[in-house]
Structure 1
Amino acid sequence: MKLVVFGATGRTGRRVVEQALEAGHAVTGIARTPAKLNRTHERLTLVQGDILDYDSFASVLQGQDVVVSTVGKGAVFGSVKLYSEGIENVIRAMEEYGLSRLIAITSGGTYPGWDDNNSIFYELLIKRVILRGEYADMRRMEERIAETDLEWTIVRPSGLSDEDGTGAYHVKVGYSLPASNTTRRDDLAEFIVDELESNQHPRQGVAVVNI
């Protein structure tokens, strides 16, 4: 399978790249500074591009099978447009070059109301104050994806951790799970690569958390 990974040099993106290569896929990583990945492989192509600049990456999608968006940008007390404007460019390019499969990472924080699976601190301060702009833009991203005819899967991790993966994680359609408020990036990447191959959650948003 040939996949394009946006945000390939990020902490989650680089794990998706690595696990996809280990699974035998051909990967094209797109990032503003691709050299940061510091990785070479016969099935890895690195491209300098910006998800907010359509012309910088659009033609790269020609001949590919799947697009994976791992872009992320923390925002404190501010507005964010990265997710919604970026996915608009991705969808445009996918439609132009005939791709149909999209996997995009957002967050369980996109749940529009009060989520009883989360702590009061998270719901009141993190979700509604500190990361309010980021989550609002992620919701716009999710809404735009759902409007398309693409075969998409939205992946909603909880609090991301750089600890080594355990392979023990839960997946459920929805936004969060009461079992945990942590998602290890290794396990998130494992789920995404598995989903590429199994396509078990077409046109669904799923929560992924560690046990």
Structure 2
Amino acid sequence: MHLTVFGATGGIGQEIVRQALDSGHRVTAVVRDPARLAATGEQLEVVRSELTDPEEVRAAVAGRDAVLSGLGARTRKEAGVTARLTRTVLGAMDATGVRRLVVVSAGPVGPVPAVEGLLDRTARRIVTALLKDVYADLGAMEAELGRSATDWTVVRPPRLQNKPVTGVYRTVVGGFPAKGRFIGRADVAHAMLAMTGDPGVVKQGVGVAY
């Protein structure tokens, strides 16, 4: 496949690019600072963009088989950027007829796990309160996806870790894995790439955790 990756210099975005190239895909990585992108290869195209020029973004997605997004606020001060930039991506996809989109959100934005103990429930409430602006931003992004014509999938991980890819994790379509407290960024990327070609997760939120 020919993929476009937004947020390609973030922790998850870097892994998406690396794993996609390792799997033989062609990748267009859209970044603000190309120097921060570690991946290289003949199948890699790097596009420098602040995502402020709609024509520039349209050119980055036109003709691609799918778009993957690791966009997200890195701090509470950046809350609001995820929904805004995703809106730009959605506009470019609509203009160019590209439909498949897989994005990363966060576990607390989705439904509460069917089975949740007191410890997990308390931790969820504390984290949600501390990062309420960031989660509100992600919620607004998910609402934008729901109103769009894209074949979207939202991947919702819990607390992220820097660990090597394992390919071993749990997923719940429309929910969240019970007692799912951690997952490595590399495995989130692995899940997003696997879901790109899965029609069973189109227009669904998917919880993913160890």
TM beyond 0.5: yes
Alignment of 1:67 with 2:67, yes or no, is yes
Determine the structure 2 residue equivalent to 1:84: 83
**Cα distance between partner residues in 2 of 1:70 and 1:205:** 15
Cα RMSD after superposing both structures: 2.1
Determine the structure 1 residue equivalent to 2:102: 103
Once the two structures are TM-superposed, the CA of residue 141 in structure 1 deviates from its matched residue by 0.5
Determine the structure 1 residue equivalent to 2:2: 2
**Cα distance between partner residues in 1 of 2:204 and 2:24:** 26
3-12 or 117-126: which moved more? 117-126
Question: Any unmatched runs of 5+ in structure 2?
Answer: none
- Secondary structure of 2:98's aligned partner: coil
Question: Any unmatched runs of 5+ in structure 1?
Answer: none
Determine the structure 2 residue equivalent to 1:126: 127
Once the two structures are TM-superposed, the CA of residue 126 in structure 1 deviates from its matched residue by 1.6
Classify 1:110/1:155 alpha carbon distance in 2 versus 1 (closer, same or farther; 3 Å).
Answer: same
191-200 or 87-96: which moved more? 191-200
**Cα distance between partner residues in 2 of 1:21 and 1:114:** 34
Once the two structures are TM-superposed, the CA of residue 186 in structure 1 deviates from its matched residue by 1.4
- Secondary structure of 1:200's aligned partner: helix
Classify 1:115/1:171 alpha carbon distance in 2 versus 1 (closer, same or farther; 3 Å).
Answer: closer
Residues 144-197 of structure 1: CA distance to partner in whole angstroms, max 9, x if unpaired?
101112111111011111112322200102342223211111111111111123
**Cα distance between partner residues in 1 of 2:84 and 2:31:** 16
Determine the structure 1 residue equivalent to 2:25: 25
Once the two structures are TM-superposed, the CA of residue 142 in structure 1 deviates from its matched residue by 0.4
Q: TM-score, normalised by structure 2?
A: 0.90
111-120 or 133-142: which moved more? 111-120
Residue identity over aligned pairs, in percent, reads 30
Determine the structure 1 residue equivalent to 2:176: 176
Count of aligned positions: 208
Determine the structure 1 residue equivalent to 2:138: 138
Once the two structures are TM-superposed, the CA of residue 114 in structure 1 deviates from its matched residue by 9.6
Residues 50-70 of structure 1: CA distance to partner in whole angstroms, max 9, x if unpaired?
235534423221211211110
Letter matched to residue 128 of structure 2: K
**Cα distance between partner residues in 2 of 1:60 and 1:198:** 23
- Secondary structure of 2:201's aligned partner: coil
Residues 41-82 of structure 1: CA distance to partner in whole angstroms, max 9, x if unpaired?
010001111235534423221211211110122333x57111
